[in-house]
Amino acid sequence: MILEIKKYPDPVLKKRTEKVIEITPEIKELIFNMKETLKQRGGVGLAAPQVGVSKKIIIIRTKNKLMAFINPNIIKKGLKKICETEGCFSFPDLWLEIKRAETIRARALNEEGKEIIIDIRGFLSMVLQHEIDHLDGILFFERLPFLQKLKIKKELDKK
């Protein structure tokens, strides 16, 4: 089932998510539906809050497949930063230059509940950081320098 994408200023986007305690049939169904939604939308990442569910689950599109990350967290960030243009399903037509760590090491559970640790760099590193931010209630424009962030927030709140 294709899920509805929640748009700013929906309160679910600012809420810290809950850890997944057990991978139940409902969680598996959510993951399946999130993957279907991401396929249909053509994006590279989707976090559960973006579909109205306050759980620590994200889906990332890699070269070969869609991967689920349950309870992901960044355990190490490289010192070098890169700045790339980011968009977000929850902010249609908003594209911003965001600075993030070029390399990260992240830990998560896969769909079977097995712990995985991955080292990634570049574009996928930025995608994973963006999606993990969603799980913490951090919106991508909040990563901008202070004055830019205020300007964007003011424009968004006018709409």
CATH number at residue 65: 3.90.45.10
Q: How far, in Å, CA of 114 to CA of 97, rounded?
A: 34
Does some domain include residue 5? no
Q: How far, in Å, CA of 106 to CA of 112, rounded?
A: 17
pLDDT of 126: 98
Which amino acid does the sequence have at 103? T
What is the number of structural domains in the chain? Answer: 1
Q: How far, in Å, CA of 126 to CA of 98, rounded?
A: 9
Does some domain include residue 3? no
pLDDT of 158: 87
Contact between residue 39 and residue 2 where contact means Cβ atoms under 8 Å apart: no
Does some domain include residue 6? no
Can you list the residues of the chain whose pLDDT is less than 70?
none
Does some domain include residue 99? yes
* 9: enclosing H helix or E strand: none
pTM for this one?
Answer: 0.96
In 3-state terms, what secondary structure has residue 159? coil
Q: How far, in Å, CA of 19 to CA of 11, rounded?
A: 18
pLDDT of 114: 98
pLDDT of 159: 77
Q: How far, in Å, CA of 86 to CA of 78, rounded?
A: 19
pLDDT of 5: 98
Does some domain include residue 86? yes
pLDDT of 41: 95
Does some domain include residue 152? yes
Record the tokens describing residue 97, joined without a space. 């230059």
Does some domain include residue 1? no
Catalytic residue positions? 131
Structural domain range at position 69: 11-158
Does some domain include residue 138? yes
